[in-house]
Amino acid sequence: MNSYLIKNVSVLGAAPTDLLLRDGMVAEAGPGLSAPEATVLDATGLVALPGLVDLHTHLREPGREDAETVETGSRAAALGGYTAVCAMANTSPVADTAGVVEQVWRLGREAGLVDVQPIGAVTVGLAGERLAELGAMADSAARVRIFSDDGHCVADPRLMRRALEYVKAFDGIIAQHAEEPRLTEGAQMHEGEVSTRLGLTGWPAVAEEAIIARDVLLAEHVGSRLHVCHLSTAGSVEVLRQAKARGVRVTAEVTPHHLLLTDTRAETYDPVYKVNPPLRTATDIAALRAALVEGVIDIIATDHAPHAVEDKECEWAYARPGMLGLETALSIALEVLGPEWDLIAERMSRTPARIAGLTEHGHDPAPGAPANLTLVDPAARRTIDPAESASRSRNTPYARMTLPGRIVATFLRGEATVLDGKAVK
């Protein structure tokens, strides 16, 4: 096992110090450390953060290895500063059995770049008709605690209630893709002034807000944990705020793209901007940012959604929804929040680790903590080139944009997964 002595690093923006990583842990912290056996890294000007944790990643394996594999997605995650990701269940076959979640979990271990925590499907085949083997997935080697039909909404209220009741026994969570399907039939983008002008069928905000309102009532009734995926509207923030004020056990995420990009991007007809839920308005963005700072929205999650070229570079109506996110999330957080390191650590590491029950993650780099951390150069600015992505796909909405911050190094249990801005393996 390697040891690393990180010199002159600012932990979460504090005065520069040294960190010694040994045996998978942060062994020592303080100025002027020495360790003859350790590899020395000069981290002058760099900020250390707890390794980021993504609660919402699509890794596409099994089934669409042409778009992403567990290994390529893990590498993209490490390059983005992540040490753990939760892999969504909409693979092919769907991760709705112990066998498939164990396969994904094992592939993650083999890649060894981040901890891959599988999410199980709520319903068999994501079909929304009958519950999947939630208990078997929870008892499997993958120890699944989060269940989601993401990509589809669990629209049937009786099924949603039963899912919430079922997972309560082991303190599991249902993560809902909130979209009332009858209100979004044929939808191509956010319903509003821009969709009217472009003549595209709209996805109204109320289709999201109605499901969140229903689900917080169901979660309250059952006393279970609900997580809202990719919350995207100002109205959803208000529903969530009221539910939290009543003590409902609900958490919510917002994606980087919903914090930055508006529905006017659809004017380009470039399908790279097609995503579900769709990009919303500047008013929604302002509400989402404020809710994230305030804590009404708990975390940033990427919804990293790689797609093969033929599924994305086609007519808008036929393109699959979704965008890459792992390698740019921290830069977007810096762009949106500024260098608020404690807030970024809270929203991108500590809280997502706590929600997912990933006890080895989300710890600030300090003696005794597992050495899962990332080093950021906050002064760097980089222009995004899709060709440079470690993902197997190229559908980043940030191409040619210049964004703040660069990940210089990432450590998983004390071993470097990224050094000098490059993946180690």
Give catalytic residue positions: 303
Question: Which of 296, 309, 350, 269 lies closest to 68, judged by CA?
Answer: 309
Q: Closest Cα to residue 366, out of 379, 350, 355?
A: 350
Least distance to Zn ion, CB of residue 265, Å:
18
- Residues in contact with Zn ion, total (CB under 5 A)? 2
CB of 31 to Zn ion, least distance (A): 46
The nearer residue to Zn ion, 96 or 150, going by C-beta atoms, is: 150
Q: Between β-strands 173-176 and 250-254, what pairing exists: parallel, antiparallel or unpaired?
A: unpaired
- What does the DSSP assignment read for 272-297? GG--SSPP--HHHHHHHHHHHHHTSS
Place of tokens 């390697």: 2
Residue type, 409: A
Q: Which stretch binds Zn ion (CB under 5 A): 119-127, 176-184, 305-313, 387-395?
A: 176-184
| Contact flags string 126-145 toward Zn ion, x per CB under 5 A | --------------------
DSSP structure string for 212-236? HHHHHHHHHHHT-EEEE-S---HHH
In the complex with Zn ion, the residue whose CB is nearer, 117 or 417, is 117
Q: Binding Zn ion by CB under 5 A: which of 61, 71, 150, 377?
A: 150
At closest approach, how far in Å is the CB of 211 from Zn ion? 12
Where does this chain touch Zn ion (CB under 5 A) — which range of 35-43, 125-133, 174-182, 362-370? Answer: 174-182
Residue 415: strand pairing partners: 412
Spacing of C-alpha 321 from chain mean position? 16
Binding mask 11-40 toward Zn ion (x if CB under 5 A, else -) reads: ------------------------------
* Nearer CB in complex with Zn ion: 150/327: 150
Q: Is the dihedral of CA 70, 71, 77, 80 positive or negative?
A: negative
Nearer to Zn ion, 150 or 298 (CB): 150
| Nearer CB in complex with Zn ion: 71/150 | 150
CB 179 to Zn ion: min, Å? 8
As a whole number of angstroms, the distance between CA 138 and CA 215 comes to 22
Q: Is 120 exposed, middle or buried (0-12, 13-18, 19+ CB in 10 A)?
A: buried
Nearer to Zn ion, 151 or 192 (CB): 151
Show contacts with Zn ion in window 71-90 (CB under 5 A).
Answer: none
Binding segment for Zn ion (CB under 5 A), chosen from 8-16, 172-180, 321-329, 360-368, is 172-180
Separation CA 12–CA 7 (nearest Å): 15
Stretch of 21-29, 177-185, 220-228, 306-314 lying at the interface with Zn ion (CB under 5 A): 177-185
Over the window 229 to 258, marking each residue x when it contacts Zn ion by CB under 5 A and - when it does not, the resulting string is: ------------------------------
> Measured from the CB atom, is 151 or 172 closer to Zn ion?
151
- Backbone φ and ψ for 289, nearest 5 degrees, come out as -65, -45
Residues 382-401 that bind Zn ion (CB under 5 A): none
Distance (Å, rounded) from C-alpha 328 to C-alpha 304? 10
- How far CA 110 is from CA of 67, 120, 166, in Å, comes to 19, 20, 31
We find the least distance from the C-beta atom of residue 122 to Zn ion, in angstroms, to be: 13
- Asked if 177 touches Zn ion (CB under 5 A), the answer is yes
Which residues of the shown chain bind Zn ion in the complex (CB under 5 A)?
150, 177
